[in-house]
Structure 1
């Protein structure tokens, strides 16, 4: 039954309360409310952050989005499977984000909703924290959806030399390959449905599918195909230690966990929502204490 008069969405709030939310499916375990409400306390802001799940509300994505806008929310995070769908509802100030075609952060402004992608900036920050200045090399990435687009464009900025996209929906991978080639004609990009072909000789292995998260158990890359690579990244952060990353660690790969993406995309989104920075080390330490 549709929630036309949702008591939470339309609840009155103090004039100085910053209302935020996350729209996505399967987000009951999301730690974003904890991050943003904690960051608010650290900076003296009164922040409320709600999980907004369209199927549970009996509404489609666009209805939930509009209800948040009309209800006085300052902004939203957008997650699976709506990061590409939201693009038609926002203006996108950053040409890099416009080129990748997916948004995970929306700021409601007087000029209308603006879309950003802190998965893109967050992935690059997380990569550099673990890998320093090391170039990604040849990368195999499983999944070409919203987060995959952000990570792929992040890899491009980090100096990736070749990308093999593994995707069941080959047309989706081919579309991302075309977007990447348009951004950098010198980049070598291929698309396949064959995980073994994609991983052969790759330095970096990446999961940008929901496989491995709570409710989607498993691994996108069999353990025997992980050996021989140098580093691995999993966009999944619930749980932080996925089967894919356990297999990668056992094979001696350097690990970039999904927590790094979660942390940095949240930190960058916080700065967009509030228009001011927050100290990275203070937020990271406070999150580990809770």
Structure 2
């Protein structure tokens, strides 16, 4: 038997829409190679397949039956996938969103590594920014996780906006139930909320390669705002480009991409990833 045949194998993938720019395959497979694993990571792109979210249950079943170790889940499937799972981790339950599914012992177990993925790089790069009032745009799957992270990071008052106001209200209610009444609310007046804010977070897909544009009017930006982005393809979104031109302090979505992958790698392999090595590899892939 060859050494190659003896290496433990992992088969993982990412289900989502417009994900051809994802760096997840390279990040996972490069770290797998460094840890002497046969690691294969596939993109399962709804757009490339020409299907909508109605295909999600069939795709999850197909992955399970063909021997996948697990799946990452991204927009627009992080909440929809829950009804097709057997168990949820405590974080996934609290957030009502799943970005990692582990196939284990005949069960589909949903996890959420997005919130820690946002929190860790923010702690490293933005530890000194004011966090009294923060505006977050987007309250979907990623948005729920990022909002959870803002509470852990000590944001005193979070105002949430979403294309679906009821969804923003549900996320705010959930945060208040977990972290204390009054810390989160659904917003009604974006210009007024941004004017009073220390920072803004974009947790929508607006700015991705497949969803170009800005999540808020450019004239609402000002120099003393900090701006955080969850999108990482492209790494410099239109929002970040315009914010940096004004002199805003910014953080891109690259750190979240790396640290959610660090946690997903740990779940898929049972091995401890080298986060510094994964950061370096992500950076080496360019912008």
State the match for 1:24 in structure 2: 16
Moved more, 193-202 or 34-43: 193-202
Q: Paired residue for 2:39, among 34, 47, 62?
A: 47
- Alignment-derived partner of residue 155 in structure 1: 150
Partner residue, 1:64? 59
Tell whether 2:164 aligns with 1:169.
yes
In structure 2, what is the Cα distance between the partners aligned to 1:202 and 1:68? 44
**Kept in 1: contact 2:7–2:38 (CA 8 A):** no
Say which SS state the counterpart of residue 88 (structure 2) adopts.
coil
Work out whether residues 113 and 264 of structure 2, in 8 Å CA contact, stay in contact via their aligned partners in 1.
yes
RMSD over aligned Cα atoms: 1.9
What is the CA distance between 1:246 and its match in structure 2? Answer: 1.4
Please say which of residues 170-179 and 75-84 is displaced more in the overlay.
170-179
Segments of 5+ residues of structure 1 without an aligned counterpart are 1-12
Is the partner of 1:186 in helix, strand or coil? coil
Deviates more, 1:119-128 or 1:197-206: 197-206
Equivalent pairs counted in the alignment come to 277
CA contact (8 A) 1:201 1:228 kept: no
The TM-score with structure 1 as length reference comes to 0.89
- 2:109 corresponds in structure 1 to 114
Is the contact made by 1:144 and 1:167 (CA closer than 8 Å) also made in structure 2?
A: yes
Runs of 4+ that moved beyond 6 A: none
After TM superposition, give the deviation of residue 14 of structure 1 in Å: 8.9
Instruction: Give 1:138-153 correspondences, 5 Å limit.
Output: 138-153=133-148
**Map of 1:92 onto structure 2:** 88
Q: Which 5+ residue runs of structure 2 have no aligned equivalent? A: none
1:28-80 per-residue CA deviation (whole Å, 9 max, x = no partner) reads 11111111111111111111111113451656101000100111000100000
**Relative to structure 1, is the Cα distance of residues 257 and 196 closer, same or farther in structure 2, using a 3 angstrom cutoff?**
same
Secondary structure at the counterpart of residue 238 of structure 1: coil
| Cα drift, residue 253 of structure 1 | 2.1
1:215 and 1:54, CA in 2 relative to 1: closer, same or farther beyond 3 A? closer
- Distance in 2, matches of 1:14 and 1:195, equals 57
Please state whether the residue corresponding to 1:60 is helix, strand or coil: helix
Which one is further off, 191-200 or 147-156?
A: 191-200
Contact 1:135 1:158 survives alignment (8 Å)? no
Q: Find the aligned partners of 1:190 and 1:260 in 2 and give their Cα distance.
A: 26
Establish whether residue 101 from structure 1 lines up as the match of residue 96 from structure 2: yes
1:259-280 deviation per Cα after TM superposition (whole angstroms, max 9, x unaligned): 1111111111111111121221
